[in-house]
Amino acid sequence: MAKSKLNELVGDIEDALDKATARFLFNTQGKLIKRAPVDSGRFASSWFIGKDQPDLSVAYERPKGAADVKRTKYTGPIKFEGVWYISNNLPYAERVSLDPKWAKGGDGGAAWFTTIVNNLDRDAKRTFTYYLKRTGQ
């Protein structure tokens, strides 16, 4: 009987870790999309989630001023295993994320990307704590 309860608890913890991983990835991708400077929407729409390697996709080109932002959701299972990436593979992604001249149109000003990155530990702790506290309830 004790072994059965322990197996249940381990299963509950694994489920909580999987859910927290998915929520953390989706929330972070959402922040990157929402806060990114938008001219045509291509840059903001080019944040993709990849497992064990970056997703090399890029969003389709849009006319300047279109502001057509679309989120591409990761469609595979998300588990608390492997290495997860959120990447943007447009040739100007680094410049728009880090150069204050190009990043100034982001929600949060020129430091929009740096602010998100600097808060990853805090956001992960909140997300994982939330799901793990509900384990076994």
pLDDT for the residue 82: 97
Q: How confident is the model at residue 119 (pLDDT cuts 50, 70, 90)?
A: very high
pTM beyond 0.85: yes
* Residue 122: exposure state from Cβ atoms within 10 A (0-12, 13-18, ≥19): exposed
Confidence of residue 137 (pLDDT cuts 50, 70, 90): low
Stretch 117-136: mean pLDDT? 95
Q: 36-89: per-residue pLDDT in tens?
A: 998 889 999 999 999 999 999 999 998 887 888 999 999 999 999 999 999 999
